């Protein structure tokens, strides 16, 4: 392999009137198929060739350590100005390792794409292979789109644990094959649910009814059920409430009344726990039902911004965030004031009791001293 790469590094390949060479190497251009015994003059794009390039005794032109500027049309002439030969030089690199990634949007479809790790600057062809771990498993046909560098496999053997996808890139300077081992069940990732629609529930200012459809790429078959993850929040909040279901509809029981609510849905294969969640659907918005539209805030987005002009942290961290009511705050303040008065009264009462006890002790001490003085003063 090393020998073949070295060969490609120092060689060029002629295809019709186009000759290919490797960048940053020496390239030799022959003046026709037969050797020339007369002096020749080379021109590059109708201009004289640089003096630091060399013309050999047989009329060949040697270009040293070529770069992109060396590409173009080369022509050789005899000393009378007669055109002897013309060739177009294309420069680049042989193929290198490819970066491969695969997507599995459902159980019957695999799409793999690849990118160059080496910019070759040359046109290339691609051949692909896709097969399971078992040696007896036949190679699946992969429909190649060379322009977009992708390949599509239909009806892969999903029961196989591991599959190997290979891409061989070939250009005029060589070829290289890159492989990627994949697990279909771990790469299984549905597209986002579509047609998410939200309806208000008449008579219920805190409920919303949400419906959606399966991804268009997901098979409509009961053997391929999906599990759905719904998240919702008041517009302007940072805190989400979440729900799960296996149906294509759900009722939100605690939407924020009189305010625009944001809803998103994502999906995952319900059979394979190793599969991935889809991306979230595009945000959908709806305000719940309201009894009297003249006495409540409007649906104007500016009103939503006004309602949530306080920091998003005003929402609780519970599953269903609720804005604290003003009456509740007032009651809490009153309770704190009453508690403070109770504590202060208790402390003052304790101080008074301690003071009274101290007074009684002082009075008893004075009485004892007076009795002792009287006893000393009596005659024996």
Domain final residue, candidates 259, 286, 313 = 286
Residue 72 sits in a domain of what CATH number?
A: 2.60.40.10
Domain membership of residue 342 (yes or no) is no
Name the CA radius of gyration of the chain, rounded: 43
pLDDT of residue 232: 97
Q: Measure the CA–CA gap between 180 and 200, rounded to whole angstroms.
A: 49
Spatial distance between the Cα atoms of 108 and 95, rounded to a whole number of angstroms: 31
- Name the more confident of 281 and 58: 281
Within this chain, do residues 181 and 241 fall inside the same structural domain, yes or no? Answer: no
How many residues are there in the chain?
A: 380
- Per residue in 243-287, pLDDT (tens digit) is 999 999 999 999 999 999 999 999 999 988 899 999 999 999 999
- Residue-wise DSSP of 5-16: HHHHHH--EEET
Please tell me the distance from the alpha carbon of residue 277 to that of residue 242, in angstroms, as a whole number. Answer: 15
Please count the CA atoms within 13 angstroms of the CA of 202 that sit on its side-chain side: 0
Alpha helices in the chain (DSSP H): 2-10, 184-187, 301-307, 326-377
270 within a domain of the structure (yes/no): yes
Q: What is the dihedral of CA 284, 288, 293, 295, to 10 degrees?
A: -120
Domain membership of residue 301 (yes or no) is no
**SS3 state at 211:** strand
Is 76 contained in some domain?
A: yes
Residue 258, CA distances (Å) to 164, 201, 264, 297, 365 in order = 55, 13, 19, 6, 76
- Residue with token string 């479809």: 109
Share of the chain above pLDDT 70, in %: 80
Q: Is the pLDDT of residue 239 over 90?
A: yes
Predicted pLDDT of residue 298: 44
What is the model's pLDDT at position 378? 56
pLDDT digits 0-9 by tens, 363-378: 777 776 666 656 655 5
CA distances (Å), origin 366, targets 173, 348, 374: 120, 28, 13
Distance between CA atoms of 257 and 255, rounded to whole angstroms?
Answer: 6
Q: Kind and range of the H or E element at 277? A: none
Res. 5: pLDDT tops 60: no
**Would residue 251 count as lying in a domain?**
yes
**Together in a domain, 279 and 198:** yes
Structure tokens at 201: 């529930």
Nearest residue to 163 (alpha-carbon basis) of 187, 141, 180: 180
Tokens of 39: 């002096």
* Domain co-membership, 110 together with 136: yes
Angstrom distance (rounded) from CA 267 to CA 229: 6
Strands (DSSP E) contained in 133-173 are: 143-145, 150-154, 163-171
pLDDT the model gives residue 263: 97
One domain, residues 238 and 277: yes
Residues 252 and 279 in one domain: yes
Q: Which of 187, 202, 229 is the C-terminal boundary of a domain?
A: 187
pLDDT in tens, 225-238: 999 999 999 999 99
75-109 pLDDT per residue, tens: 998 888 888 889 999 999 999 999 999 999 999 98
Q: List pLDDT tens digits, range 287-322.
A: 999 987 544 444 444 444 434 433 333 333 333 333
Q: Which of 92, 121, 140 is the last residue of a domain?
A: 92
Evaluate if residue 219 carries a pLDDT over 70.
yes
Extended beta strands in 278-324, E state: 284-286
Together in a domain, 208 and 270? yes
CB-CB neighbours of 59 under 10 Å: 23
Structure tokens at 54: 């060399």
**pLDDT for residue 48:** 84
Q: How many domains does the chain have?
A: 3
Q: Are residues 176 and 223 in the same domain?
A: no
Mean pLDDT confidence for 35-58:
82
Question: Cβ-count burial of 51 within 10 angstroms (0-12 exposed, 13-18 middle, 19+ buried)?
Answer: exposed
pTM of this prediction exceeds 0.75: no
Query: pLDDT of 108-164, one tens digit each?
Result: 989 999 998 889 999 999 999 998 876 566 677 788 888 889 999 988 888 888 899
**Domain containing residue 146:** 98-187
Rounded CA separation 318/239 (Å) = 9
More confident residue, 239 or 49: 239
């Amino acid at each position: 392999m090393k020998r073949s790469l070295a060969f490609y590094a120092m060689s060029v390949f002629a295809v019709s009137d186009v000759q290919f060479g490797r960048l940053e190497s020496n390239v030799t251009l022959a003046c026709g198929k037969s050797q020339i015994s007369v002096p020749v003059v080379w021109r590059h794009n109708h201009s004289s060739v640089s003096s630091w390039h060399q013309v050999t005794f047989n009329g060949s032109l040697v270009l040293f350590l070529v770069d992109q500027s060396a590409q173009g049309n080369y022509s050789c002439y005899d000393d009378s100005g007669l055109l002897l030969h013309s060739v177009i030089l294309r420069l680049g690199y042989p193929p290198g390792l490819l970066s491969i990634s695969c997507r599995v949007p459902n159980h019957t479809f695999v799409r793999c794409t690849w990118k160059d790790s080496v910019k070759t600057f040359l046109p290339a062809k691609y051949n692909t292979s896709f097969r399971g771990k078992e040696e007896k498993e036949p190679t699946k046909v992969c429909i190649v789109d060379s322009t977009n560098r992708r390949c599509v496999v239909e009806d892969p053997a999903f029961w196989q644990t591991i599959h190997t996808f290979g891409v061989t890139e070939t250009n005029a300077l060589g070829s290289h094959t890159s492989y990627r081992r994949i697990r279909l069940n771990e790469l299984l990732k549905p597209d986002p649910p579509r047609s998410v629609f939200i309806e208000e529930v008449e008579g219920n200012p805190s409920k919303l009814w949400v419906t959606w459809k399966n991804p268009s790429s997901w098979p409509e078959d009961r053997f391929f059920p999906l599990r759905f993850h719904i998240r919702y929040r008041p517009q302007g909040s940072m805190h989400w409430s979440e729900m799960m279901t296996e149906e294509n509809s759900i009722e939100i029981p605690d939407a924020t009344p009189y305010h625009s609510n944001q809803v998103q849905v994502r999906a995952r294969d319900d059979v394979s726990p190793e599969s991935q969640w889809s991306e979230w659907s595009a945000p959908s918005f709806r305000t719940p039902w309201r009894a009297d539209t003249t006495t409540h805030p409007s649906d104007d987005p500016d009103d939503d911004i006004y309602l949530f002009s306080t920091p998003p942290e005003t929402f609780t961290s519970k599953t269903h965030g609720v804005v604290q009511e003003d009456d509740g705050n007032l009651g809490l303040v009153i309770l704190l004031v009453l508690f403070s008065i109770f504590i202060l009264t208790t402390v003052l009462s304790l101080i008074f009791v301690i003071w009274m006890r101290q007074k009684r002790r002082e009075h008893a001490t004075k009485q004892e001293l007076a009795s002792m003085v009287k006893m000393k003063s009596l005659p024996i």
